Structure 1
Amino acid sequence: MPSTPRARVWITAGLLSLALCGCSSLTGGTNGGTGGSAGGDNGGSSTTSSAADGPEVPATSLDLERVCTDGLGYSGMPAYDRTKKTVHPAMLMNNPGDTWSQFEPPAGDFPKDWILGYSDKPADAELVVCVERTKASPTGKKCDMESDDGKPFTVSTYNTSYRLKVVEARTGEELYKHTGEAKSDECPMYIFSSEGEDKDKYYNEVRPKDYRKRVQPFIAP
């Protein structure tokens, strides 16, 4: 996995390539776009402490997949008490298809200390915010793009549906759930793609600013 995330896009495994918009689309529209592809994690294979070592904690962010998918928490993680009027740090996990990974939003997307970063310990999280793409629908729009080596190509854009959950990291209890859609009728200014990824498709994804107020009552009551 790349060690340094790129701003406002998800990063996946493999070699990244940058594609710039030709500032026009085959069906109209210019700059913009609200989505990207997925990625980012704390890297490596995941292991957790055994019962003999003490309470169970996640060794990497990848271990938090089970919190999002099965509601299985980690007994060694900090207890969550919403009555305490303080920041309750959260780990943000994203699944744009079939793989969960950590996402660290760019500076300014969330207030400081709300979301743990790649360099933080997953075991310090009181909450896990899970964002999962559940559906993709073609918009019918095709956009002219240009790769970093100057070669033109075309991308088809997709609107997406997503599921947002706030889960207590220690118990796996679901505290909040919301479903929504991410739509746009504009072409992206740029996209990032990884080796082996279909770069002819661009998905409009939910952005941090779209769900800040939804998670605030739990992270910063």
Structure 2
Amino acid sequence: MQRARIWVAGGVLGMALRGCSSLTGTTGTTGTTGGGSGGGSASAGAAADAPEVPLTTQDLERVCTDGLGFAGLPAYDPTKKTVHPAQLMNSTGDGWTSSVPVEGDFPKGWFLDYSDKPERAELVVCVERTEATATGKVCDMEADGKPLKIRTYNTSYRLRVVEARTGKERYEHTGKVESDECPVYIFTSDDEDADKYYNEVRPEDYRGRVKPYIAP
């Protein structure tokens, strides 16, 4: 096996661990994971009567947690056959993180990019892990030149499409992700167990489900 490499950037520890097969579906992230709708959700309204808008994409977590929208965001009109920009939010059970999909996972313009302003969002797509079950499979891998056994987990997830302005839920789907394969490499953050691998929902699993709302 080759020697694993470790990256530390922005407080996230990435461990590339050699394994026996492949699984894909990682996403780039922006912002920081927050607990619920607390942690300083902000608005840009300097005047008391100004419609509330999010200052950062992370502020949109409250749309997923509480169904609380931002009155200053553009209204979602499903009759308009145009792209309705969405913000992707992910949760693994401990707060939400605003995310930017990897280039090529979705058509350009579907989700806000790093350069986009959060006040462009018409929708919020909330993807959360709701349950994890051990598969019983153990993968022999390597980290920093040392052997490491990785336990794999199947997961259940909940997918929602929510209006960013009103907090109204437009779509909900629950599903499971199961696999008996070992990953080629994994990335772990500093608050995750390095010896666990979760089979998470991938962009191709829900691309077709969000399309009728984002790009009708």
Query: Is there any run of 5+ residues in structure 1 with no aligned partner, and where?
Result: 1-10, 24-30
Partner of 1:33: 23
Query: Is there any run of 5+ residues in structure 2 with no aligned partner, and where?
Result: 1-7, 33-38
Does residue 73 (structure 1) correspond to residue 69 (structure 2)? The answer is yes
> 2 CA distance for matches of 1:82 and 1:216?
12
Q: Do 1:48 and 1:59's aligned partners in 2 also have CA atoms closer than 8 Å?
A: yes
Alignment equivalent of 2:81, drawn from 79, 82, 85? 85
Partner of 2:159: 164
> 2 CA distance for matches of 1:156 and 1:34?
17
Partner of 2:113: 117
Q: TM-score, normalised by structure 2?
A: 0.86
Change (3 A) 1:15 1:91: closer
SS state of the match for residue 100, structure 2?
A: coil
Alignment equivalent of 2:95, drawn from 93, 99, 115? 99
> 1 CA distance for matches of 2:94 and 2:207?
24
Root mean square deviation, CA, Å: 2.2
SS state of the match for residue 192, structure 1?
A: coil
Q: CA offset at residue 21 of structure 1?
A: 2.0
Amino acid at match of 1:32: S
Aligned pairs for 1:194-205 (under 5 A) are: 194-205=189-200
Amino acid at match of 2:23: G
Q: TM-score, normalised by structure 1?
A: 0.84
> 1 CA distance for matches of 2:209 and 2:146?
41
Alignment equivalent of 2:53, drawn from 41, 52, 57? 57
Q: CA offset at residue 42 of structure 1?
A: 3.3
Q: Do 1:136 and 1:203's aligned partners in 2 also have CA atoms closer than 8 Å?
A: yes
Q: CA offset at residue 182 of structure 1?
A: 1.0
Does residue 14 (structure 1) correspond to residue 3 (structure 2)? The answer is no
When the two structures are aligned, how many residues end up with a matched partner? 202
Amino acid at match of 2:31: N
Does residue 212 (structure 1) correspond to residue 201 (structure 2)? The answer is no
For residues 19-78 of structure 1, what are the alpha-carbon distances to aligned partners after superposition, in whole Å with 9 as ceiling and x for unaligned? 32242xxxxxxx023566x87223596421235261100111221111011111000001
Q: Do 2:90 and 2:96's aligned partners in 1 also have CA atoms closer than 8 Å?
A: yes
Task: Tell me which moved more, 173-182 or 111-120.
Answer: 111-120
Change (3 A) 1:151 1:90: same
